[in-house]
């Protein structure tokens, strides 16, 4: 009898890894969005279904960062076809937008703080069409089911977090001109205190309409009029964004941008995102050094990262834009021979101090873009029991976007992501404002495949132009230094600016900065926050990871749906 049972026991043991793998994982910057995604997975939904639900909830609970009034970029691994795809839900400039949109009467660019509030900065929101396309391509549950977590929270109320309260206090003076926002988030004439339970009946009503009638309920009819009126009647910077602009918007199914890094394949978004090309450019230059042997505590590791970073960002500034409007040499920027040439500009003994764009194969003549500031962004990931993986970054651009509110959600200020100077060095800027164009983005949703061809990591972040470096840091931490996603996220953040190379002002960052003198320059420790979220497969088990710098969480759903 014992011999007869052995095959059965063996089969059971073989099945254990597959059972472990059959779990869902979500991770986001807010525990309520994380739980909404997990709930959708528990109902048998796909990673795409969970992503849709998480967008809807984040609109409500993290309004300063993202929402249906903004746009997003989604990278998705489809387990059934073993393929990767991306959806571009980036906002577009309305038909009335002209290259000189942000120039003052003197012909000079107006300041960012001057043009962000109000209608002038608002682009046509793209997230709802992205959500529609993701559900059509990869969804499983009914469309209406995906909005129930957000509707419940909007009806029953949700608590104000410390982060939301702090941002509300920061904009008290500005919001004197934005009564619709005050009506939702103020109590007794002041920003709602931490722990206040807020309700949002207007947003709940809109979601019910969208759940019943589909995305057209957002882009046409009453909601379209609400958006157009908010933009046109703004006290600050009134502008035109018409019902026709909204009805014409389409999300775009674009090919993923992928390249090998050592034994891995790293995939992300192509233009109008600069994320994948810049992340992969940095990695391609670093590929010539043994980062694993040097390790995370070596000042040489961080010196090489800093040099590759500045060279890749120089290429980003010169060549990246909306590929539907300008020629972007994506293939040339990722060319291994080109990156080897760029690598030769990096000395292991000291900083170059000057970083110019190169000339990748197929690159057109181009002038560098100007700086772009952004801050209202979030990232989230979902993995379902079938092995589908969603990595999505969503944004309203700056904190609370344009500060305009329609039906309970904030409208983006995405048009300020365009260059404010339409002509630079006598030539048209690649990222200048044009009707129907999508502004350049730093959003970097990323999926990584291991040597066996299976997904091992999904990651992304908030942080404006720093997003690229937050993601790159995690990739190096996991792929080169063998860290868990949690530990890689906790590594100090790195960037650069007028003060040179800057590193996060924590114990690890300070320790690295103290070791940089032999290279003839220093890293300046400053505050460099991030909102990273990731999912990592270790063996056959998925783990979620959230940035310890904020309230983000991850959650596992291992129980199969009943019935």
Give the active site residues: 377
Question: Angle at CA 151, nearest 5°, toward 403 and 174?
Answer: 15
Distance CA(65)–CA(118), nearest Å, equals: 17
What are the tokens at 402? 């344009």
**Residue 449, helix vs strand vs coil:** strand
Residue burial 276-311, b: 16+ Cβ < 10 Å; e: rest: bbbbbbbbbbbbebebeebebeebbbbbbbbbbbbb
At residue 282, what are phi and psi to the nearest 5 degrees?
A: -65, -50
**Residue 305, helix vs strand vs coil:** helix
- E strand or H helix at 435, and its extent? none
**Residue 557, helix vs strand vs coil:** strand
Q: Where are the beta strands (DSSP E) in 413-513?
A: 423-424, 427-428, 446-449, 455-460, 494-497, 500-504
Distance CA(265)–CA(489), nearest Å, equals: 20
**How far does CA 66 lie from the centroid of its chain?**
10
Q: What string of DSSP letters covers 131-143?
A: HHHHHHHH--S-G
Rg (CA), the chain: 23
Q: How far is CA 418 from CA 373, 495, 498, in A?
A: 10, 21, 21
Residue in 165, 290, 179 with CA at minimum distance from that of residue 234: 179
Cis before residue 272, ω within 30 degrees of 0? yes
């Amino acid at each position: 009898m014992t011999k007869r049972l052995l095959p059965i026991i063996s089969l059971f043991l073989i099945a254990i890894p597959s059972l472990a793998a059959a779990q869902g994982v979500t991770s986001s910057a807010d525990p309520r969005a994380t739980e909404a995604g997990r709930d959708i997975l528990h109902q048998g939904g796909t990673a795409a279904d969970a992503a849709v639900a998480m967008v809807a909830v984040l609109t409500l609970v993290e309004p300063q960062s993202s929402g249906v009034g903004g746009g997003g970029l989604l990278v998705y691994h489809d387990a059934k076809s073993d393929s990767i795809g991306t959806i571009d839900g980036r906002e577009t400039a309305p038909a009335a937008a002209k290259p000189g949109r942000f120039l003052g009467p003197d012909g000079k660019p107006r300041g960012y703080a001057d043009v962000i509030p109000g209608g002038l900065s608002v682009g046509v929101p793209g997230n709802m069409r992205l959500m529609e396309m993701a559900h059509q391509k990869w969804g499983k549950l009914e469309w209406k089911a995906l909005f129930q977590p957000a509707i419940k929270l909007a009806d029953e109320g949700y608590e104000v977090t410390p982060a939301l309260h702090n941002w509300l206090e920061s904009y008290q003076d500005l919001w004197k001109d934005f009564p619709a926002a005050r009506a939702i988030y103020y109590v007794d004439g002041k920003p709602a205190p931490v722990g206040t339970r807020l309700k949002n009946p207007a947003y709940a009503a809109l979601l019910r309409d969208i759940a019943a009638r589909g995305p057209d309920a957002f882009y046409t009819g009453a909601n379209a009029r609400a958006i157009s009126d908010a933009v046109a009647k703004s006290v600050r910077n009134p502008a035109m964004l018409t019902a026709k602009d909204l009805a014409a918007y389409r999300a775009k199914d674009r090919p993923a941008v992928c390249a090998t890094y050592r034994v891995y394949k790293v995939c992300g978004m192509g233009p109008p995102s600069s994320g994948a090309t810049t992340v992969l450019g940095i990695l391609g230059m670093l590929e010539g050094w043994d980062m694993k042997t040097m390790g995370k505590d070596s000042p040489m590791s961080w010196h090489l990262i800093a040099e590759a970073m500045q060279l890749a960002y120089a290429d980003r500034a010169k060549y990246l834009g909306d590929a539907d409007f300008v020629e972007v040499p994506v293939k040339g920027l990722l060319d291994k021979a080109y990156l080897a040439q760029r690598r030769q500009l990096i000395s292991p003994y000291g900083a170059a101090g000057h970083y110019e764009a190169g000339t990748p194969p197929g690159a057109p003549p181009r002038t560098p873009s100007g700086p772009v500031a952004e801050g209202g962004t979030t990232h989230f990931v979902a993995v379902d029991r079938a092995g589908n993986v969603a990595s999505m970054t969503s944004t309203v651009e700056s904190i609370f976007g344009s500060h305009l509110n329609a039906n309970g959600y904030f409208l983006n200020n995405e048009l300020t992501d365009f260059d404010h100077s339409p002509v630079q060095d006598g030539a048209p800027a690649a990222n200048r404002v044009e009707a129907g164009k999508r502004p350049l983005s730093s959003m970097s949703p990323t999926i990584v495949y291991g040597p066996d061809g299976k997904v091992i990591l999904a990651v992304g972040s908030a942080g404006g132009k720093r997003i690229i470096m937050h993601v790159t840091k995690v990739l190096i931490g996991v792929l080169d230094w063998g860290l868990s996603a949690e530990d890689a996220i906790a590594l100090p953040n790195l960037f650069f600016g007028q003060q040179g190379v800057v590193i996060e002002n924590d114990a690890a960052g300070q320790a690295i900065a103290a070791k940089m003198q032999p290279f003839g320059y220093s890293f300046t420790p400053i505050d460099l926050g991030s909102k990273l979220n990731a999912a990592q497969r270790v063996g056959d088990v998925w783990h979620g990871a959230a940035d310890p710098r904020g309230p983000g969480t991850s959650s596992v759903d291992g129980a199969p749906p009943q019935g």
